[in-house]
A and B are shown apart, each in its own frame.
Chain A
């Protein structure tokens, strides 16, 4: 089975995927839409941040910022749009933006749009105006004058961490730096604010100590967390920057996937859900100052296995799979990677333990693919009404689950439905900070296909491993006749051969006189 899965994977790639827009799109509207802002746009100062607490989480290989803010309407009219500014250089690294009304958390995330200045979105002069961009939060109900609402805003920033020193020896620890402003970037006056920074460990050799912002020592240290503030910033104009730099130990790999291609393929005939993931992985951490030493690495390995040492190199990836997963494979450009272990489990999570062919140090790349099969019954259900309609539930991202996390610069998620499936609709459910998904319909031709299988391609950028909590639900119509397309095609072909054989056999090729 394993061999055949590999063969199917290899052949599957050989077939070119044709994405045609022939089928009419009837997709769910993406949650994030873009609004073009004209001229020298500045949001009106209609709100006041009465109290703001920001948490910067640096425990993983990417930054997660969470801001809880009490917003008061200081205008005379009701207001419903709250603007959050991002620098031009930063906005492209933001992902998983999520805003909620804390008092009505059950209502789910608030509607968010991206405000782009016309000069910036104009492709002719992209660099002429490096203006601030905005995320616009739309409150469910307009906030009346003097009314207040508590917002919980969270997002992650990819590739914002830099190793310092940029190159280290093989056995040295890796340190990362992060730059931010002690004053939270905002377009509204802020009365009181505080920033908490969570580090992966208490080893923080360098950090900015502020002066004149508060009477007490700033920052205040509590184990592996630092607190900048609280500051009384009522008289500080919005947008003021007070640069802060922190340098901390992060002796774990800084994993970035430039592209993750993830396919799930539904087979009604086989009752199977096949998953394949193709990774273009790299380590963005500190590079090796000297050449890689195999001897030193084997010594290091001994101490790492004994738990007496850590390394910034990637040694192993653990991929938790759904219970009942079978036929797992792990291949790269050379072929099957035998240094992997698959622990199947029908009750609890199965585990796929991947050891790349070589340890991955800073600046090194590794390209590989993994795949496995599941019973379709756990992911597909048939609807009572309308007839012949099915609903599929699959996670947006599975893949490795490491304590240091993984960033995906680009995610291409293809849901390959059976041939003849129509009326495809999708929605996401669960998770925080669902990435903006661009959807495309197309066809994918592979074994025993005549027209090609219906494909729903969802593309997202700036995704992190937390997106594994997001479920993609897809409904499609698949009639009995569409299901019979494959055997009927073969039937027609073979029956034609029989008829032809009979006709050819009945031709009289004798050269003698016909006997009566």
Chain B
């Protein structure tokens, strides 16, 4: 199906099969999987493991593997960003999740929009929300947030409620009210 040399790790999470590939091999691995029958990219997204990545900077804590057993200790993540590609074979109805761990500012990975057309918008969304740069994407612009937005909202260090309130007059009233009282 896919060369074993590409697979860093494999396993099953809650019944879903998954493999991990190196961030540099994502394009090659997905291309091989597409040829093997996984023709549909169901979704592509990212998970921010900020807490794990900063806690475990010194290396894996003793006894914790890179994935964590079902119901066992939380998975150890040495990288901050985890890209997740959910693939499906429409003939056999098999599903496979491909993971890749990324670091860097901004994190970079090759685009797969030409292999899977739905990836075009998914990659834009992942860029918009997590700041992951997909090299080779034809139009890597923000898709959900306004074009002039600063920051990437789904990163774990982006606070809920941290955005400025649009209507400044009301905002000021609201801010100063407790002091006057």
The reply to whether chain A is a binding partner of chain B is no
Residues of chain B at the chain A interface (Cβ within 8 Å): none
